[in-house]
């Protein structure tokens, strides 16, 4: 690992191959392994007890139990008949529950490359999926849940066994149908919740999305409220009030959360030393970084790194 503090060291992302190896799932048809995974089993939540990125598009439907987790620092509760849709490169972390390992779900995981080969009307679908990006977990009615689970079960069935001439075409069509069904469900949900389309709600969420996008780009170097307010052309006081109102957390809390999350991930998934991580995150020295990390997590970087 280079010692240059300016060298980019991205958070480790799991590919589909790595997910299969880590979860112990059986091998899939040759030619489809890098494209998609469809599985109906107990969740492997322990794989994600530390923050990580998944380089894939994920659609899941809960079938049993309950689990809590976070997507880009937003906490969600997954349970039976809940739909969750996560895009590539989002940071996922599973939280401990009172009954670990009891959550089960049907999950479809698609690589970005495979997704681009599908014949999907993105012009009409994209606005719906952009809306769910801010609400990635929804409750389904029993019929919607049953239909989506059936689609994913069919995909799972077709991804096993010997390779056939039309295997990829069959799986591609089933995945496209699943995505269209998700789009249909999202469209119905939005029509039943018109408050999500109100101008005031949209304006506040628009500022919040812009803030989190800016934070994702600059948190390594910029940790002042004033910087983000200037980028959004609003006052620090208005930004603070807005973010607190829509998220329940202050701007400073969000900045600290992003920095701490990156630090946790680098401590667990990179070969960087504590000193290298301190410089990478623009702290003046290892001691200052250690105090900052302990203040936000309750443990030192070395203690967190050694945590099992």
Q: What is the pLDDT of residue 229?
A: 93
Q: What is the pLDDT of residue 134?
A: 65
Query: How many angstroms separate the CA atoms of 187 and 191, rounded?
Result: 6
pLDDT digits (tens, 9 = 90+) for 222-241: 999 999 999 999 999 999 88
pLDDT digits (tens, 9 = 90+) for 107-123: 888 887 787 677 776 65
Domain range holding 181?
Answer: 13-194
Q: What is the pLDDT of residue 300?
A: 93
Among 134, 166, 194, residue at a domain's last position: 194
Residues 36 and 135 grouped into a single domain: yes
| Residue 29 pLDDT > 80 | no
Can you give the CATH number for the domain in which 163 is found?
Answer: 2.60.120.280
Q: Is residue 7 part of a domain?
A: no
Across the chain, which distance is largest between two alpha carbons, in Å? 62
Average pLDDT over residues 5-25: 54
Can you count the helices (H) and strands (E) in the chain? 12, 10
Q: Is residue 3 part of a domain?
A: no
pLDDT tier at 31, thresholds 50, 70, 90: very low
Asked if 304 contacts 270 with a C-beta cutoff of 8 angstroms, the reply is: no
Query: How many angstroms separate the CA atoms of 261 and 265, rounded?
Result: 6
**HSE value, Cβ hemisphere, 13 Å, CA-based, for 46:** 9
Among 149, 172, 194, residue at a domain's last position: 194
Residues 80 and 136 grouped into a single domain: yes
Among 169, 194, 219, residue at a domain's last position: 194
Between these two residues, 218 and 165, which has the higher pLDDT value? 218
Average pLDDT over residues 297-305: 89
Between these two residues, 134 and 187, which has the higher pLDDT value? 187
Between these two residues, 200 and 62, which has the higher pLDDT value? 62
Residues 48 and 173 grouped into a single domain: yes
Structure tokens at 284: 């003046």
Asked if 59 contacts 269 with a C-beta cutoff of 8 angstroms, the reply is: no
pLDDT tier at 245, thresholds 50, 70, 90: confident
Query: How many angstroms separate the CA atoms of 222 and 199, rounded?
Result: 30
Between these two residues, 202 and 251, which has the higher pLDDT value? 251
Residues 97 and 156 grouped into a single domain: yes
| Residue 5 pLDDT > 50 | no
Can you give the CATH number for the domain in which 285 is found?
Answer: 1.10.10.60
Residues 34 and 148 grouped into a single domain: yes
pLDDT tier at 281, thresholds 50, 70, 90: very high
Helix H segments across 107-250?
Answer: 112-116, 122-132, 142-158, 167-192, 199-218, 225-232, 236-247
Residues 111 and 157 grouped into a single domain: yes
Collapsing DSSP to helix, strand or coil, 53 comes out as strand
pLDDT digits (tens, 9 = 90+) for 199-221: 445 677 778 878 888 888 888 88
pLDDT digits (tens, 9 = 90+) for 123-164: 566 666 666 666 788 899 999 999 999 999 998 888 876 777
Q: Is residue 147 part of a domain?
A: yes
Residues 34 and 98 grouped into a single domain: yes
> What is the 3-class SS of 60-93, one letter each residue?
EEEEECEEEEEECCEEEEEECCEEEEECCCCEEE
* 67-76, 217-226, 230-239, 274-283, range with the lowest pLDDT: 67-76
**CA torsion, ordered 6, 277, 11, 299, to nearest 10 deg:** -160
Q: What is the pLDDT of residue 25?
A: 53
Identity of the highest mean pLDDT range in 89-98, 130-139, 192-201? 130-139
Q: What is the pLDDT of residue 4?
A: 41
State the average pLDDT for the chain.
78
Question: Among 199, 211, 197, which Cα is nearest to 73's?
Answer: 211
Average pLDDT over residues 22-29: 53
| Residue 26 pLDDT > 60 | no
Residues 60 and 160 grouped into a single domain: yes
Total tally of structural domains belonging to the chain: 2
């Amino acid at each position: 690992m280079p010692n240059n503090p300016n060298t980019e060291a991205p958070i480790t992302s799991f590919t589909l191959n790595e997910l299969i190896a880590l979860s112990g799932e059986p091998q899939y048809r040759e030619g489809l392994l890098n494209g998609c995974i469809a599985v109906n089993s107990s969740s492997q939540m322990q794989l994600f007890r530390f923050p990580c990125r998944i380089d894939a598009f994920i659609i899941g439907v809960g079938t049993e139990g309950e689990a809590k987790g976070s997507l880009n620092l937003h906490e969600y509760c997954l349970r039976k008949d809940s739909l969750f849709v996560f895009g590539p490169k989002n940071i996922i972390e599973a939280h401990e529950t009172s009954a670990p390992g009891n959550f089960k779900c049907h999950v479809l995981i698609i690589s970005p490359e495979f997704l681009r080969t599908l014949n999907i009307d993105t012009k009409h679908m994209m606005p719906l999926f952009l809306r769910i990006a801010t609400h990635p977990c929804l409750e389904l009615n029993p019929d919607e849940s049953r239909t989506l689970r059936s689609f994913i079960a069919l995909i799972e069935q077709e991804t096993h066994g010997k390779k056939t001439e039309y295997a990829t075409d069959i799986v591609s069509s089933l995945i496209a149908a699943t995505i269209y069904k998700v789009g249909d469900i999202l469209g119905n949900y939005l029509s039943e919740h018109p408050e999500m389309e109100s101008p005031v709600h949209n304006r506040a969420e628009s500022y919040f999305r812009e803030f989190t996008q800016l934070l994702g780009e600059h948190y390594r170097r910029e940790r002042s409220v004033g910087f983000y307010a200037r980028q959004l052309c609003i006052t620090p006081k208005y930004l603070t009030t807005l973010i607190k109102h829509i998220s329940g957390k202050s701007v400073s809390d969000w900045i600290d959360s992003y920095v701490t999350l990156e630090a946790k991930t680098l401590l667990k998934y990179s070969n960087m030393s504590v000193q290298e991580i301190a410089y990478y995150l623009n702290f003046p020295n290892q001691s200052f970084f250690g105090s900052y990390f302990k203040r936000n997590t309750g443990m030192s970087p070395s203690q967190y790194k050694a945590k099992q």
